[in-house]
Structure 1
Amino acid sequence: MGSRRDRDGEGRARNARPRDGLGRPLPYGAQGVARQPEGIVRSPQQTVGQAQALLAEGKPFHAHEVFEDAWKSGPESERALWRGLAQLAVGLTHAARGNVTGGARLLRRGADAVEEWADGPGERQPYGIDLAGLVAWARELAEAVERGGGPIDARTRAPRLRVP
């Protein structure tokens, strides 16, 4: 007899456990935060706007899911950008959960990816995204997380994605 797995309407495995604002699983039946629907195709401007709103609410895990949709559905030429932004959101998630090592590592990995993308041909501020500011924010936060050693407040430490 196999283990019970949550499935969506098409039979794909999906974890239906409720989650808190940082994406941590809660017990079945607990009141959780609404999850981001998966597989939504948004315009880049919608992606940035929705992710920024989620970051401002202290929900970097949810912002990561929005970036992940863009990464998976966007043009091949932009996948490294969206993946890097998703890594930054996951790094903030881990830092807010108190995972110092994982948070700092993912913040730096995302910063490297975004910086590498920004150094490529074309626009330096795609869709109004402040890539240089995000790189600086991520590296500074990684240092602060390592110095502090404990969880940070995702809402107050959230980045500003767009150029002011």
Structure 2
Amino acid sequence: MDRARDRDEEGRARSGRPRDGLGRPLAYGAQGVARQPEGVVRTPAGTVREAQRLLDAGMPFHAHEVFEDAWKSGPAGERDLWQGLAQLAVGLTHAARGNVTGGARLLRRGAVRVEEYARGGAETYGVDVAGVVEWARRLADRVAAADGAGALDAAAEAPRLRVSG
């Protein structure tokens, strides 16, 4: 069947297929989860809170989109923090989908980017940077060692972004 390309309200190409909790496209007409709205400007605390809610719900792909909004709308000096957190969320997404190579690679790449903020001097908005980096590296090692043994449970493996919340 030849389908015209899906477009959003502004005419940009965007798949209209529903998605599951890990962002995988489903068949047209299938019941998916609500998409994360794009371009939402949140406070940094609101970003962390919303991303944690989505991670806890086993929806790291959606959490990545929240972090993406923060890096696009926030100050340039914070871009690496939000991009690194987004990479960690996408790494968890890939690992939950069973893509061990991509999952481990993105978890490690995100950990390197976020680790710069553990040195201090830059605002982290309560994110437990050292704890998140340790979580990412341990999970990357476990995912790589599993060598395709199956997908993991994204909600059970979700990081705690803050020590107390």
TM-score bin (small chain): over 0.9
Deviation string, structure 1 residues 109-137 (Cα, Å, up to 9, x no partner): 000000023336334xx211000000000
Partner of 1:158: 158
Partner of 1:38: 38
Q: Which runs of 5+ in 2 are unaligned?
A: none
Question: Separation in 1 of the partners of 2:128 and 2:95?
Answer: 22
Cα RMSD (Å) of the superposition? 1.4
Question: Separation in 2 of the partners of 1:60 and 1:44?
Answer: 18
Q: Which runs of 5+ in 1 are unaligned?
A: none
Partner of 1:128: 126
What amino acid maps onto 2:13 in structure 1? A
Q: Which piece of structure 1 moves more, 8-17 or 81-90?
A: 8-17
Partner of 1:84: 84
* Pair 1:144-2:136 in alignment: no
Deviation string, structure 1 residues 7-31 (Cα, Å, up to 9, x no partner): 1111111111100110000011110
Q: Percent identity?
A: 72
Alpha-carbon offset, residue 92 of structure 1: 0.1
Partner of 2:17: 17
Partner of 1:74: 74
Q: Tell me the TM-score normalised to structure 2 length.
A: 0.93
Deviation string, structure 1 residues 20-60 (Cα, Å, up to 9, x no partner): 11000001111001110011111101100000000000000
Distance 1:69 1:34, change over 3 A: same
Question: Separation in 2 of the partners of 1:122 and 1:58?
Answer: 29
- After the TM superposition, list the runs of 4 or more consecutive aligned residues in structure 1 that deviate by more than 3 angstroms: none
Alpha-carbon offset, residue 148 of structure 1: 1.8
Partner of 1:111: 111
Residue-pair matches, total: 161
